[in-house]
Structure 1
Amino acid sequence: MEFKGSLHHHVKQTSTPKAMSQRFDAEIASGSLFVPQEQLNGFSFPLLPVITQQDPSLIQSFAWGLIPGWAKNEDIKKMTLNAKIETLHEKPAFKDVLTQRCLVIANGFYEWQWLDSKGKNKVKYEIGLENEALFAFAGLYSHWVDAHTGTLKSTCTIITTAANELMASIHNIKKRMPVILQPKDEQAWLHQASITGFAYPYQVPLVAKAMNEHYRLF
């Protein structure tokens, strides 16, 4: 059974392109194909639907796992699925793209609650808004050119912050959660509002349900 990663490494996007387009008042970019999926594992570096501050009227597909422009290869993406909001200004992978804001579209994410101190017994939870409504994670993006092939690759990362009370009870070891933007603040994020204003206690009302999936590792 695979446990690699955590909440900010497994997201849900089961809405149709039409629903995304209507919710975010944006067109699906030419060539961007989104297949509804119950679970997208970050460590497979899937394409996610994003809206950038550069093209706010388009929903594009960017690979999950940010590759900064200076990277010599793609290896760093394993470490950049998420970006801690508290250290964005310090980390080399993120500090040069702080103004390259994006919305990462989803309608859920997953977390495993540890039932013992070593994580050998876990319960899977699905977390999101009421009625599985679409929302936007706060994200950053980058355009990277492979020096060997000349291929341009667009990638993104999801911002995380300290957990609220609900998430601290589920993500009960690291106690983190992704930054889910309040709808009224989505444009503010894209238009360079202060990053510190989106750290916890900034939050949206989340709901969680156990998936009745218990895992044991021996």
Structure 2
Amino acid sequence: MCYYVDGKLSTKEIREAFNVETNFNDFKGEKMISGFRAKGTVEKALPIITDESPDVAVLGDWGLLPFFSKDRSFQAKTLNAVIEELELKNSYKNSINKRCLVLVKGFYEWRSLDKFGNPDPEGKVKQLHRIHLDNGNQPFALAGIYNIWNDITTFSICTTKANTLMADIHNSKKRMPVVLNENDHSKWLNNPEYLDFAHPNYDVKLILENLEPEKTPSTLF
């Protein structure tokens, strides 16, 4: 899945990397952003580009809120949208053709290991990895869908079956976000055939780096 991203982006980087304007100033993202909300917090903002305004980056709130949401507590359930099931889920089926690019510098996943450090999907030990597109460590886009709820732009990151690299890293659930090559940004925003972007129909070259000492997620925050 994809619950933690590197959102350390400046407005200058966003404008230069994606050739867009921004409707916000002095955005300062965080090196590690979790979609899960700590008690007492509400917004989890990330820059996104929507199909309706492809020349402008806006701040979206992570966790798509469909029209029937009564409040924002629902967002914890919609951080990710399984791309193979978009038409089957009431939360997502009205947003299938509301496409967005979620702008990041990377994303994080934990690899499950046994006590000897060997890969083990059932292992209790977790090792953190940072993954990014093979583009010279520049900002890149994840495929997303969105909905405007009570004047708030909310989004989900689409996930797909893991490719070979990510199946080894995310070795328990074997999922990954849909990472887009730069040349395919417009195609994602405008192409109704979303399954064209499901693995193995679509794949990109990813770089694995920043291996940390073995930790569990609870020790990081």
Question: Does TM, normalized by the shorter one, top 0.5?
Answer: yes
Distance in 2 between residues matched to 1:198 and 1:129, nearest whole Å: 15
User: 1: distance between equivalents of 2:157 and 2:149?
Assistant: 17
User: Aligned residue for 1:20?
Assistant: 14
Matched, 1:135 2:134: no
* Partners of 2:26 and 2:61 in 1: CA distance: 13
User: In structure 2, what is the Cα distance between the partners aligned to 1:8 and 1:213?
Assistant: 20
SS in 2 for 1:89: helix
**Is 113-122 or 44-53 further displaced after alignment?**
113-122
* Deviation readout 1:52-76 (Å, 9 max, x if unpaired): 0011111000110010112112121
- Look up the SS of the partner of 2:186 in the other structure: helix
C-alpha separation between the residues in 1 aligned to 2:25 and 2:67? Answer: 22
Q: Which residue of 2 aligns with 1:38?
A: 31
Partner amino acid, structure 1, of 2:127? V
Residue 25 of structure 1, CA deviation: 1.1
- Residue 197 of structure 2 corresponds to 198
Q: Distance in 2 between matches of 1:137 and 1:207?
A: 15
Structure 1 regions of 5+ residues with no counterpart?
Answer: 1-6, 146-151
Instruction: Note closer, same or farther for the CA distance 1:33–1:194 as it changes in structure 2 (3 Å cut).
Output: farther
Please list, as runs of the form range in 1=range in 2, the aligned pairs for 1:1-218 lying within 5 A after superposition: 8-29=2-23, 31=24, 33-44=26-37, 45-116=43-114, 117-130=121-134, 131-145=136-150, 152-201=151-200, 202-215=202-215
Q: Residues 32 and 61 of structure 1 are in contact (CA less than 8 Å); yes or no, is this contact kept in structure 2?
A: no
Q: Is the 8 A contact 2:133 2:179 kept in 1?
A: no
Moved beyond 4 Å, runs of 4+: none
Instruction: Please state whether the residue corresponding to 2:205 is helix, strand or coil.
Output: coil
Partner of 1:148: none
Report how many aligned residue pairs link the two structures: 204
Question: Contact 1:101/1:190 (CA < 8 Å) preserved in 2?
Answer: yes
Q: State whether residues 63 and 77 of structure 2, in contact with CA within 8 Å, keep that contact through their aligned partners in structure 1.
A: yes
Contact 2:10 2:26 in 1 (8 A): no
Tell me, in whole angstroms, the C-alpha distance in 1 between the residues paired with 2:180 and 2:16.
17
Q: TM-score, normalised by structure 1?
A: 0.88
Deviation at 1:121, TM superposition (A): 0.6
Q: List per-residue Cα deviations over 1:104-131 (Å, max 9, x = no partner).
A: 0001000000003544211000000233
Is the CA contact 2:29–2:46 (under 8 Å) kept in the aligned structure 1? no
- Which SS does the other structure have where 1:136 is aligned? strand
Tell me, which stretches of 5 or more residues in structure 2 are unaligned? 38-42, 115-120
CA contact (8 A) 1:103 1:138 kept: yes
**What percent of counterpart residues are identical?**
37
In 1, distance between residues paired with 2:45 and 2:25? 9
1:121 is aligned with what amino acid?
V
Give the equivalent residue in structure 2 for 1:149.
none
Q: Distance in 1 between matches of 2:207 and 2:195?
A: 24
